[in-house]
Amino acid sequence: MELEQREWDTSETFLSAFDSLIGDERTRRTFQGVIHGIISGESLRAAVIARFFPPAMAAISNGERRVRRMAAGDSTQRSRLDADQVTNILREQGVANLRAEPELELVLDGMELRRPGAHEQEYLMSVKALDGSLVNGYRSFNLGLTLEQPEVRLLAYLGSWEERKNRPPGKQVLTRGLRRLIDQATTEAILRKHIEEYGDLPPFIKRLLASYGYERRP
């Protein structure tokens, strides 16, 4: 999928957000070339990535070697291109792009990563194999979030998760927490609508809610 010049110009603007992590011009050009090669070549193979370098880097004779050195960290000693730093920039860019959207849809895509040969990895748990048996692995979600983020932990607690070593919350817990949060928002909206139409809540409902600590909000 060869990028057109307009698409490459757009991607260069996006990739400029990573300049703060890059310590020299050669690494910056290689980084942009690798991203261009991955997208255009639709591959993670170093030889393919180098073959789809942008036109300005097409004359490089050792492109594959530069890709491999960057992937191994050999040529990025003056930069901070580790996974955490790059992910933080991606997250910031994603939030900035979504901030202006009037409405968002969240797709909870649950999946299981099977690691039958793993025994000592952090948070290892039992998941179902294709034949229905249990093997070591992880339950994960395509949310771009981690348990260290407060919103994920809150959803887990709302889903009745009890924090235990090597037992992160699963799909059912996070889904239950999300459902309870939505139910709370729905309840608040219905109560406000009733108060707007009738001036107040029925006495019994008011006493019941008060017994659970509910306070009427203006």
Instruction: Please tell me whether residues 54 and 87 are part of one structural domain.
Output: yes
The answer to the question of residue 117 being in a domain is yes
Dist CA 152 CA 60 (whole Å): 45
The answer to the question of residue 18 being in a domain is yes
Instruction: Please tell me whether residues 160 and 135 are part of one structural domain.
Output: no
Instruction: Please tell me whether residues 153 and 200 are part of one structural domain.
Output: yes
Instruction: Please tell me whether residues 154 and 116 are part of one structural domain.
Output: no
Instruction: Please tell me whether residues 204 and 119 are part of one structural domain.
Output: no
pLDDT in tens, 2-16: 666 677 667 777 888
Mean pLDDT of 106-135: 74
The answer to the question of residue 38 being in a domain is yes
Cβ contacts of 165-168, under 8 Å, gap ≥ 24: 166/122, 166/123, 166/124, 166/125, 167/123, 167/125, 168/123, 168/125, 168/139
Instruction: Please tell me whether residues 18 and 90 are part of one structural domain.
Output: yes
The boundaries of the domain holding residue 121 are: 108-143
Is residue 181 within 8 A of residue 164, CB to CB? The reply is no
Instruction: Please tell me whether residues 169 and 139 are part of one structural domain.
Output: no
Question: Residue 108: its pLDDT value, please?
Answer: 59
Q: What is the DSSP string of 162-187?
A: ---TT----HHHHHHHHHHHHHHHHH
The answer to the question of residue 103 being in a domain is no
Dist CA 86 CA 90 (whole Å): 6
Q: Tell me the two tokens of residue 101.
A: 């959207």
Dist CA 83 CA 176 (whole Å): 30
Instruction: Please tell me whether residues 11 and 36 are part of one structural domain.
Output: yes
Instruction: Please tell me whether residues 69 and 82 are part of one structural domain.
Output: yes
Q: How many domains does the chain have?
A: 3
Instruction: Please tell me whether residues 75 and 149 are part of one structural domain.
Output: no
Residue 68 banded pLDDT, cuts 50, 70, 90: very high
pLDDT in tens, 175-197: 888 888 888 888 888 998 999 99
Instruction: Please tell me whether residues 207 and 162 are part of one structural domain.
Output: yes
Question: Residue 22: its pLDDT value, please?
Answer: 92
Reply yes or no on whether the pLDDT at 51 is more than 70: yes
Instruction: Please tell me whether residues 196 and 120 are part of one structural domain.
Output: no
Q: Tell me the two tokens of residue 123.
A: 């948070």
